[in-house]
Amino acid sequence: MLDKTADFWERQRKAPLYETLERHARRRPHPFHVPGHKMGSSFDRAGKERFESVFPLDMTEISGMDDLHQPEGVIAEAQALAAEAFGAEETRFLIGGSTVGNIALIMAVCRPGDKIIVQRNCHKSVFNGIMIARATPVYVVPAVDLGTGVAAGLRREDVERTLQAHPDAKAVFLTNPTYYGMGIDLVKMAATVHRFGIPLLVDEAHGAHYGFHPSLPHSAMQCGADAAVQSTHKMASALTMSSMLHIQGNLIDRGRLARALAMIQSSSPSYLLLASLDLARRHLVMEAAGEWNRLIPVLDELRKRIGGLDWVRLASLSSNSVYTTLDPFKLMLNLYTRSLTGFTLQKLLEENGVFPELADLGHVLLAASAGTSQEDVDALWRLLQELAPEPAAETVRIFQAGVLASSFLREQVMPMHEAADAGRETVPLEAAAGRIAAEMVIPYPPGIPLLVPGERIDREVLELLKELRASQARFHGVKNARLETIEVHA
């Protein structure tokens, strides 16, 4: 989707931070500074061969390397190039994943007691940010996609009604796209939110590649959001933990945001991760489109083949969809069989060398990217083709539409931060009905809390948690990882 001048392309060919690190390494300097491995001279013998090519780039804030927390040199230049590429007024590199970006945004817009309108199926980092800021969340429950049974994005009319009921809210925070690649019309949503004079904040963790190819949806910045946090390592090519925060407009106090980032990001950020952000931006602008042009027909053929199987279907846009965009690189397998759950299918795939992104009771999510090969796709198809579970009618699907969304309709009895700090006791999960949660219960992935501190545990969510536990789902946020017990307000 980029249509830029010759000067733009000339600037974007540069990777100033990475190039500075390379020049310094070629000098073969004598490092009397941290880190202690001294550009690889001292390291575990067995691991040294694997890591030795990157040791010289693992720098610290020596002369010429700039400082992430006060950027004035090559980091500032790299961030400016990223802002230009992503269509932002300002971009901040994040070392700590999108988590630190989400938390910092909430700290920037909310003071204790302030209201913030939040999509209830946000990532756990959003809830943690609300707890740290001691803000008051006003939840909007997402629409459920009837074709897959998963919670998708927010309806604009639901957000507008919530804004009318809470005119003192300081911001709207939503997720777009979802983990499954589903998205809403952000242009209309931004216009709605801005009529109330507050910023639209977007967790765009899974959309770092958006806006860089005609087959992809527009990015949050292109749609008018005030801030977007992207996990550049998820669907683009940065190293894991490397993310970006993009900002535009005057509705966010950027000084307060900078102070929040300084508090929650390491004072010793990894230059390897920072350099990977510099290179990932250049790759998105200069090279990724060619790789996607190769991949898209391969995935289209895979979709046709999967369409011939009677026990599984792929998520797809239709006139009945509650979402308006779908990431072509996210392949969500929806199971229509009694013989397999998403978890058992995941296990079968992994036993044969194919590792999905995530599974739940009725789905397996596969995340392709510019790095996905024909060999990868062929291996997946061979396994799916060999499986022949008995198909089931749509009316008896394992994971019925509506279960996930209704699981978000909890009674918030007390503020999250108060419930997390209050007295607590441990009870068997089966005995928790009616009690007030004191811990966050987060099936992971995708990292979306089913319970947050202060919510009343009802029978419906209890049954869902028991079913997830029986399927050996992993949980974050809980003291007992197998969810045999749960902590509740005493």
Of 2-16, 176-190, 285-299, minimum mean pLDDT range: 2-16
Measured CA angle at 361 (ends 443, 241), to 5 deg: 40
Q: Are 438 and 488 in contact (CB under 8 A)?
A: yes
- The pLDDT of 81-92, averaged and rounded, is 98
CATH number of the domain within which 359 lies = 3.90.1150.10
127: in domain: no
299: in domain: yes
Amino acid letter for position 69: H
Domain boundary, last residue among 370, 396, 422: 396
| Residue appearing with tokens 């949806």 | 217
- Positive/negative CA dihedral, 59, 63, 69, 74: negative
Q: Is the pLDDT of residue 2 over 80?
A: no
Where residue 472 falls among pLDDT bands split at 50, 70, 90?
confident
Say yes or no: 392 and 414 in one domain: no
Tokens of 7: 């000067």
Q: What are phi and psi of 18, to 5 degrees?
A: -60, -45
303: in domain: yes
pLDDT digits (tens, 9 = 90+) for 222-244: 999 999 999 999 999 999 999 99
50: in domain: no
Give the DSSP per-residue string, 180-247.
TSEE--HHHHHHHHHTTT--EEEE-TT-TTTTSSTTSPPPHHHHT-SEEEE-TTTSSSSPTTEEEEEE
Q: Is the pLDDT of residue 175 over 50?
A: yes
Mean pLDDT of the chain: 94
480: in domain: yes
Confidence (pLDDT) at 401: 38
Where residue 268 falls among pLDDT bands split at 50, 70, 90?
very high
Say yes or no: 366 and 445 in one domain: no
Confidence (pLDDT) at 398: 41
CATH number of the domain within which 449 lies = 3.90.100.10
136: in domain: no
373: in domain: yes
Say yes or no: 380 and 439 in one domain: no
Separation in Å, CA 52 to CA 2, 36, 37, 44, 279: 37, 14, 11, 11, 19
Of 157-171, 286-300, 309-323, 369-383, minimum mean pLDDT range: 309-323
Nearest-Å Rg of the Cα atoms of the chain is 23
Q: Which residue has the higher pLDDT, 115 or 409?
A: 115
Say yes or no: 392 and 315 in one domain: yes
Domain boundary, last residue among 338, 362, 396: 396
- The pLDDT of 322-329, averaged and rounded, is 96
Which pTM value belongs to this model? 0.94
C-alpha 84, offset from chain centre: 22
pLDDT digits (tens, 9 = 90+) for 414-467: 999 999 999 999 999 999 999 999 999 998 888 889 999 999 999 989 998 998
- The pLDDT of 397-402, averaged and rounded, is 41
Q: Is the pLDDT of residue 479 over 90?
A: yes
Confidence (pLDDT) at 267: 95
Domain around 416:
410-489
User: Cα–Cα distance between 220 and 243 in angstroms, integer?
Assistant: 15
Q: How many CB atoms neighbour CB 250 within 10 A?
A: 9
Q: How many domains does the chain have?
A: 2
Domain boundary, last residue among 396, 422, 457: 396
Confidence (pLDDT) at 261: 98
- The pLDDT of 138-146, averaged and rounded, is 91
Confidence (pLDDT) at 1: 54
385: in domain: yes
Q: Are 32 and 41 in contact (CB under 8 A)?
A: no
Length, in residues, of the chain: 490
Say yes or no: 301 and 385 in one domain: yes
